[in-house]
Copies of this chain bind each other. A is one copy, B any other.
Amino acid sequence: MTDHTEADASPAPSIEVPASVPTGLSRRGLLGLALGGGAAGLAIGVGTGLAGGIAIGRERERGESGEPFAFFGPHQAGITTPVQDHLHFASFDMMPRTDRDDLITLLQDWSYAASRLTQGLEVSATGAVGGDARTPPDDTGEAQGLSASGLTITIGFGPTLFENEDGDRFGIASRRPVGLERLPSFLGDDLNPDLSDGDLCIQACADDPQVAVHAIRNLSRIAFGRARLRWSQLGFGRTSRTTADQATPRNLFGYKDGTANILASDSGALDDHVWVAASDEPAWLRGGSYLVARKIAMIVETWDRVRLEEQNRIIGRDKGEGAPLSGGDEFHEPDFASDAIHQDSHVRLAHPGQNDGVRILRRGYNYVDGNNSLGRLDAGLFFLSYQRDPARYISLQRKLSTDLMNEYIRHVGSGVWAIPAGAAAGSYAGAELFA
């Protein structure tokens, strides 16, 4: 938390929180903080915690330095933001019998809290220790003393939010983007429903995993009674880059990944491939995007016993430098006329030139979730991509149906969410949907 105190919910001048952000959590949000896990009868002092509280400020102690990223703006942060080192991704379902107002106040509460957390502040002005000691703390406190650590919080709306087996719960079924529907089955899918889908999603990225975990935990608490965590995933070792000065990281097959990713500086490509355009439908999503998440288990023990030349043939790049097998260095354009690049290599099938020019912005992370009973690491890639239309991911993924790499991977989780444009200061993520 940054080094200052504040006498009320207004941010200190040195902190970049617009003056017009919501000034507090809703009553429901405060109730969530008080009741967290679900017990009734403990709501001592609910609604009294925010006034005159003190957000304890402390020196930065660790984590990457650098300016915090603003939550408010034309686009949500966490898309073109330089990819942080750690991820905590969470999918939520709205609780039974919630209504439109519940959803709206939840999004307002999340936006308020996110506008603070991303600045290195606690979830409310009273925070972990500044409130009435006879009440549960607003903030869980494990990020006290940590900086903002580059935290971004990105909020999305899944197909089931608009309509599910219970119908049009929130009066937004007619506003569902045509392209926002459960992804079709792909060859080789082995999806676990407990790792797939969800009414809402939050992507929290930070350079300190404790900061990302703290964000998801506190946003989950705020959602109490309104939305419930469906599944969540931690990741490390970003597998993409969004700025030219970020080195290309490596996936758990040992290869550089994301060499040809769309960079934040390439506004033309972002407009063409990532942002929902002014001419696109629906109007409420303009300036937003679509997020696809795929949990891709990598059969690393099998991969590791493949000979190097075969690994290179499968990827279409060399394992050391990441250079295309047709020659040149990492950033040299692959020459697909060359016999050196196999017809079904990953680099060829995924290349825009083989996909009617389609590009996506990748933002995935490596994961290791322990190991299975055979002693094999439960490891892989938590793939995240942003694109202007889910159809673009679908066509790309279908193209990959003959990818030589498929023998060594298994898609075990899947989801797609509409990502609204960034919230204007004083508003909240997705407000246009309810206008």
Contacts and interface: CB of A to CB of B under 8 A. Distances in A.
A308 B137 contact: yes
A351 interface: no
A61 interface: yes
B217 A237 contact: no
Contacts of A38: 301
Chain A facing B: main interface SS: loop
A209 B238 CA distance: 11
B247 A145 contact: yes
Contacts of A213: 236-237, 252, 366, 368, 379
Interface in A197-227: 208-210, 213, 216-217, 220-221
B309 A134 contact: yes
A319 interface: yes
Contact of A142 (B56, B254, B320, B376): B254
Contacts of A128: 254, 319-320
Interface residues of A, number: 82
A234 interface: yes
A213 to B, nearest CB: 5
Contacts of A191: none
Interface string A144-167: 110000000000000000000000
Given A213-B368, A300-B140, A377 B232 contact: yes
Given A133-B308, A221-B304, A247 B194 contact: no
B61 A141 contact: no
Contact of A136 (B56, B88, B208, B305): B305
A140 B304 contact: yes
Interface string A33-51: 1111111001010000000
A375 B320 contact: no
Given A128-B254, A300-B217, A306 B145 contact: no
Interface in A288-314: 299-302, 304-309, 311-312
B36 A229 contact: no
Contacts of A250: 141-145, 210
Contact of A307 (B135, B302, B373): B135
A175 interface: no
A36 B301 contact: yes
A245 B311 CA distance: 45
Q: Which 7 A-B pairs have the closest CB atoms?
A: A141-B254, A37-B301, A229-B375, A228-B375, A210-B237, A129-B320, A133-B309
Interface of A: 33-39, 42, 44, 56, 61-62, 85-86, 88, 128-129, 131-137, 139-145, 194, 208-210, 213, 216-217, 220-221, 228-234, 236-237, 247, 250-255, 299-302, 304-309, 311-312, 318-320, 366, 368-371, 373-377, 379
Given A142-B366, A228-B374, 9 more contacts: A36-B302, A37-B305, A133-B309, A142-B237, A145-B247, A213-B368, A216-B377, A229-B376, A232-B368
